[in-house]
Structure 1
Amino acid sequence: MNYQNMTLSQLKQDLICDAQKGYPIFLAGALYWLVMGVLGFYLEGKTLALWYLLGTSSIFPLGILISRLCKVNFLSKNPLGTLGGIIGGIQAFYLPLWIVIYMEHYEWIPMAIGLLGASHFLPYIWIYESKTYLFFSITMALISVVLGYVFIETAFLLLPFSMTLVYLITAGSLKRETRNLFSKNSP
């Protein structure tokens, strides 16, 4: 495809068509949070917090696997897809902060992962022309602060299951937004 001759609007539409607004990454995220919630019944303290940290590295590869299974081109060559990948890579810079939080206040790890994760999704509101990303970012941030800090005793139990639900709702909503866009643009 000749991306150089496409308008910004055409690039966005092409990426939405290819990547399906990135919904497979939310299925991977839902799985991550579900596993963390289940681990909360078996592990505790710093050991559980360490699993949270290590588990974050599974989300992106799992998202690629799910996208392939769903026949979604998550790794589109579209320049806006490249921009999306750079934005997604921002999370690598959160790792040192998460490590410091783990060492000083491990009980804040679920909140920190949720809150910082929410922040990196904001640019996708524009890239994918999606209100769902706005809902997701705000909801994820609020749940992270309320269940991960205000009610910190629930951080390793209620927060991951709440996040699982938010991720699944987001995946479904992104899929619906994409389907509605395709049906609106078809003759």
Structure 2
Amino acid sequence: MNTADIETLKLELSLKAKNGLNFIIAASMVWLLISYVWTLPYSAYDKSIMTFIVGAIMLPLAWLLSKFMKTEWTVKGNPLQPLGLWLNFAQLFYFPFLILMLIKSPDYFVMTYVIITGAHFFPYAWYYDEKAYAIMAGVISFGALAIGLSVTAERMFIVPLFMGIALVILSVLLFLSYQRKRKLSMQPSPGEII
């Protein structure tokens, strides 16, 4: 398989999955809801547990959005397609850090969760050929760290709020890029007869 073939396969994934937009929109809604959870008058440990519970709606919400947005979860015949699932599973191997934070320092649980989630977007820059994923992976991870280390425990809701807003921005960037790619893919190649 040559580079041109790989680029064609990546373009197919980008167009049919619409750059993973349904997942990013679902995640933005979930993180805004998690931000609300962190304003509630419960212990940081309890809010951390509620964060896990709220996070469980992410995949069903992404699935519903995929039906509304007409995105494809599996692109049959594209050998790169399974890689997207593996890239997502990689995030699970960071969950021991979350458990550590839950037990030893629950005030910083949500910051750690945002850093892990933000960082996991980085390989999708290659997968969808989208620089916005790489840029936002850094912005989210380092932004969450900076905010988390500078706010009090009572204001830790700002970290998931930041994440939700960053994901809304990423959604807009991914949508604009999808529109551009779709338009370009419909243009005939140079020398092609219409």
Identity of aligned pairs, percent? 21
Deviation at 1:154, TM superposition (A): 5.9
Deviation at 1:10, TM superposition (A): 1.5
Identify the residue that residue 51 of structure 1 maps to in structure 2: 50
Asked if 1:40 corresponds to 2:38, the answer is yes
Whether the 8 Å CA contact 1:148–1:154 is kept in 2: the answer is no
Gaps of 5+ in 2: 188-194
One-letter amino acid matched to 1:70: M
Gaps of 5+ in 1: 1-5
Partner of 1:44, secondary structure, is coil
Worse-matched range after superposition: 33-42 or 169-178: 33-42
Please identify the structure whose Cα radius of gyration is greater.
Answer: 2
Q: Return closer, same or farther for 1:89/1:155 CA change in 2, 3 Å cut-off.
A: farther
Q: Return closer, same or farther for 1:134/1:36 CA change in 2, 3 Å cut-off.
A: same
Whether the 8 Å CA contact 1:107–1:152 is kept in 2: the answer is no
Partner of 1:42, secondary structure, is coil
Give me the TM-score of the superposition, normalised by structure 2. 0.86
Q: Output aligned runs, 1:18-97, within 5 Å.
A: 18-45=16-43, 46-77=45-76, 78-97=78-97
Give me the TM-score of the superposition, normalised by structure 1. 0.89
Distance in 1 (alpha carbons) for counterparts of 2:185 and 2:82? 25
Whether the 8 Å CA contact 1:111–1:155 is kept in 2: the answer is no
One-letter amino acid matched to 2:18: Q
Worse-matched range after superposition: 131-140 or 44-53: 44-53
Q: Output aligned runs, 1:1-187, within 5 Å.
A: 7-45=5-43, 46-77=45-76, 78-153=78-153, 156-187=156-187
Deviation at 1:167, TM superposition (A): 0.5
Distance in 2 (alpha carbons) for counterparts of 1:113 and 1:155? 16
Task: Tell me the C-alpha RMSD between the 2 structures.
Answer: 1.9
Worse-matched range after superposition: 107-116 or 36-45: 36-45
Q: 1:36-89, CA deviations, whole angstroms, 9 ceiling, x for partnerless residues? A: 112223243211111112333332332222112211113333322210111011
- Runs of 4+ aligned structure 1 residues displaced above 4 Å come to none
